[in-house]
A = this chain, B = another copy of it.
Amino acid sequence: MTANKPARLVVLLGSASDLPVVEDMAPLCERFGISHRVEIASAHRQPDRLRQVIRESEAAGADIFVAVAGMAAHLPGVVASLTLRPVIGVPVAVGALGGLDALLSIVQMPPGVPVATVAIGKAGARNAAVLAARILALGDPAIAAALAAYREDLAQGGR
C-alpha cells in the first residue's frame, strides 16, 4: 500500500511486525478502486500519535479504519473510541493462544462503541477489504460494480 497520501481506507497496525498479515489487502483495495494507506501506531506505546493519525486521516477524507492487532488487542477499540467512522478489527494470532486473546479483546466491545470484527489473521484482513468495499458501495456505484464482478469471480471458483 502507498503511504502518506489521502485515502478512504486507513489501515492501522499496532506494530510493523503485523505487516505480513495485511499484505493481501492492497490488491483487493485496488481491484475495488478504494484509495488506501497503512499507518503504524500503537494504542499503548503511542497514544498521542494514534490520536493525531486518526485526526489527520479524518481531515484527509478517511471513511473507514481497519485496525489490526494481536494479544490484548486494544487498538481497534481505542480507534473506535476516537472516531465516529466505522472501524473494522482484525485479530492477529501472536504467541501461543492462537489469536483467541486478540479475537475476544476486539469483538467483545461494550455497548456504544462497536468494532466490526472479522476472522483471525490473513483471511480476516482480506475480508476487511471486502467489508470496506461493501460499506463504501452503498454510496459508490463503481465500487458496487467492482464488488459484483468480484462475487462473480468467486462463484467461478476464483479467490
Chain A contacts to B: CB under 8 angstroms:
14-15, 40, 42-49, 63, 70-72, 74, 77-78, 80-82, 84-88, 93, 95-121, 123, 126-128, 130-131, 134-139, 144, 147-148, 150-151, 154-155, 157, 159
Contact = CB atoms under 8 A, between A and B. Distances in A.
A126 B108 contact: no
Q: How many copies does the complex hold?
A: 8
Nearest to A46: B155
A71 to B, nearest CB: 4
Q: Which 4 A-B pairs rank lowest in CB-CB distance, beginning with the nearest?
A: A116-B116, A96-B98, A114-B127, A93-B96
Contact of A117 (B99, B101, B116): B116
Most chain B CB inside 10 Å of its own CB: which residue of A74, A110, A137, A159: A110
A80 B113 contact: no
A130 to B, nearest CB: 5
Given A49-B155, A135-B138, A112 B63 contact: no
Contacts of A93: 95-96
A40 to B, nearest CB: 7
A84 B113 CA distance: 25
Given A71-B119, A88-B116, A97-B120, A44 B103 contact: no
